[in-house]
């Protein structure tokens, strides 16, 4: 059996025709799945019983098994098991007037940021398109409110799994799919230069919200805490971002995790301002106070250090915002995603 969620509309049309059914059956199936939330052929009443039987013998709807769910006031963390026994996490973030789903794109991560708990597990494999979409489908079924925003900020580096992420994005933004606005889908990357160049030329991907984890204002420091900078130098990364084809009203989000006495000194803020002086209006800086993990040697800076850093950037004409991560209580915040963290933290 193959999973429906891994198909585009055109691919599914070809598949149902190969089974002897009419092309439009694919349109009906995806309408049931993505518009009505139905993942049972027996309930698709505008398809004949015979055709439903043929389809049920060929296709399934889910590839992930939900094995745990932990709720906090600001978020819900879901733990899913893949068919080959791995675990991946998805976090539903409760915003003031909408829901945002933080999806994983890989099992583990190979980037190796020294401050990130997820990276300690290394990379096991890429998630397939259907495994990415199934995170959305299952969480949406569990939520009474429509999920309007998706962020690829869960486990993994999305641009290292480019083709599967691209296809999942196509399902998300297409009218026949989840029909989300491109401006409500965000891709967060550690800055793989070759893939960012590819994304900039890709009509499916280039209009998405782009968030890039900078985390350091110099090559030396960034290389120390983000080893990927050795092969993706900071100055080359910034050149690509300066040239990224956004219209004037769009800004690239630069994510900067503030770690006490590592990258949060005034000199670091001044260096970051210098890095962005070529076109500060092209960027928006999100300062994220570090989310501590008991197995890592880093600490969250006091608020006065966070706001001092922010003020220096504002004084240099750079739009800068402090983002306190949702999901801390369920170890589902930035850099905390690890499959074994399934219990609520008691503060």
Instruction: List, by residue number, the catalytic residues.
Output: 89, 334
Q: Distance of CA 231 to CAs 48, 163, 187, 190, 193, Å?
A: 56, 21, 21, 12, 9
Question: 59 by DSSP, 3-state: which?
Answer: strand
Any known ligand binding at 126? no
Would the annotation count 156 as a binding residue? yes
List the beta bridge partners of residue 254. 212, 285
What is the C-alpha to C-alpha distance for residues 91 and 332, in angstroms, rounded to an integer? 6
Task: Say if CB 108 and CB 155 are below 8 A apart.
Answer: yes
Q: Among residues 347, 234, 333, 240, which one has the least CA distance to residue 289?
A: 333
What is the Cα–Cα distance from 308 to 230, expressed in whole angstroms?
A: 29
Q: Is 188 annotated as a binding residue?
A: yes
Question: Is residue 149 classed as helix, strand or coil in its secondary structure?
Answer: strand
What is the pairing mode between strands 106-108 and 123-126?
antiparallel
- Residue 213 marked ligand-binding: yes
With the C-alpha atoms ordered 171, 177, 182, 185, is the resulting torsion angle positive or negative? negative
Is 109 one of the annotated binding-site residues?
yes
Q: Using DSSP, how many helices (H) and how many strands (E) does the chain show?
A: 11, 14
Of 249, 229, 247, residue with least CA distance to 238: 229
Burial 261-288 (b: 16+ CB within 10 A, else e): ebbbeeebbbebbebbeeebebbbbbbb
Strand partners, 252: 283
Burial of 85 from C-beta contacts in 10 A (0-12 / 13-18 / 19+): exposed
- Flag whether 137 is marked binding: no
Q: Confirm or deny that 18 is annotated as ligand binding.
A: no
- Element holding 307 (H helix, E strand): helix 303-315
Q: Residue 149, annotated ligand binder?
A: no
Helices (H), 147-213: 162-173, 193-200
Question: Which residues line the annotated binding site?
Answer: 109, 113, 116, 156-157, 188, 213-215, 291
Question: Which residues line the annotated binding site for S-adenosyl-L-methionine?
Answer: 156-157, 188, 213-215, 291
Question: Which residues line the annotated binding site for [4Fe-4S] cluster?
Answer: 109, 113, 116
């Amino acid at each position: 059996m193959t999973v429906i969620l891994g198909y585009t509309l055109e691919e599914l049309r070809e598949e149902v025709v190969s089974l002897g059914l009419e092309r439009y059956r694919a349109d009906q199936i995806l309408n049931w799945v993505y518009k009505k939330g139905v993942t049972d052929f027996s309930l698709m009443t505008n398809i004949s019983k015979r055709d439903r039987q043929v389809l049920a013998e060929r296709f399934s709807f889910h590839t992930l098994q939900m094995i745990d769910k932990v709720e906090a006031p600001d978020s819900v963390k879901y733990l899913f098991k893949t068919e080959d026994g791995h675990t991946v996490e998805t976090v539903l973030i409760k915003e003031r007037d909408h829901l945002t789903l933080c999806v994983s794109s890989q099992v583990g991560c190979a980037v190796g940021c020294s401050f990130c708990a997820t990276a300690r597990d290394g990379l096991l494999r890429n998630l397939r398109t259907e495994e990415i979409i199934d995170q959305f489908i299952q969480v949406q079924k569990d939520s009474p409110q429509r999920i309007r925003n998706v962020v690829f900020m869960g486990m993994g580096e999305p641009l290292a799994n480019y083709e599967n992420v691209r296809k999942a994005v196509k399902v998300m933004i297409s009218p026949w799919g989840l029909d989300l606005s491109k401006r409500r889908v965000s891709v967060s990357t550690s800055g793989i230069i070759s893939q960012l160049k590819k994304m900039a030329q890709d009509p499916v991907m280039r209009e998405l919200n782009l968030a890039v984890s900078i985390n350091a204002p110099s090559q030396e420091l960034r290389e120390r805490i983000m080893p990927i900078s050795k092969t993706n130098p900071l100055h080359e990364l910034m050149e690509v971002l300066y040239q990224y084809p956004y219209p004037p009203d769009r800004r690239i989000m630069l994510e900067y995790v503030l770690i006490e006495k590592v990258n949060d000194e005034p000199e670091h803020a001044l260096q970051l301002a210098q890095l962005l002086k070529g076109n500060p209006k092209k960027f928006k800086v999100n300062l994220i106070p570090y989310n501590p993990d008991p197995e890592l040697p880093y600490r969250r800076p006091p608020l006065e250090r966070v706001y001092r850093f922010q003020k220096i950037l504002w004084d240099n004409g750079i739009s800068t915002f402090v983002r306190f991560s949702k999901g801390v209580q369920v170890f589902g915040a930035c850099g905390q995603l690890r499959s074994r963290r399934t219990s609520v933290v008691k503060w």
